[in-house]
Structure 1
Amino acid sequence: MESWENEESDNPPRKWPTASTRLNWARNNYQNHSLQWKLQRFLILLMNMIALNDQLEEEGGEALVSPKQRKQWIEMYETFRPTQQAGRPRNNE
């Protein structure tokens, strides 16, 4: 019976997947998700971009986008953000 050590030593070391392979994996993974999942990821990205823009302005740096574009981002977020679930609020009885 062969040992695992002999088998491993005969095989070349495993290589990392190429950048194009990883890109294809990411595309396939993204395509397999629901529209709701994609929308949630978009909103997270949008919130992070708004926060980064504001942080850069507060630190005295140049903002990523104009105030008009920032306002459009906030409007997009307000349009697509999830609303509260239907039903009675938990704290109000």
Structure 2
Amino acid sequence: MKSRQPQRDSFGRTEREKQDPPWRTTVSRIIAEGSVPELDTIAIDLSQGALFFDSPADLAKHQATFSRLDSTALSEESSREFIRSIMKEVEAANA
């Protein structure tokens, strides 16, 4: 039996890929800070390309956003405990 390839549009996307929102992608963020604040830059890599922010207003906005995220995140050990508890729940549900 021959495997069927999904149809793609003119941009090479399948129907499923077109339904996925654009923020469902791998994103990495790098903050380059140094002794000269005027040279600080935030680089955000997306699957569509990279974005660079270096204006004081953009830097402040991104730094505030990630400070809030950092303050609400679990610690490394708490994250491990949480993941272990979810694994136990899943294993118990599938036993």
Higher relative contact order (CA 8 A, sep 6+): 1
Q: Which has the higher strand share?
A: 2
Same fold (TM over 0.5): no
TM-score, normalising length: structure 2: 0.30
Q: Which has the higher helix share?
A: 1
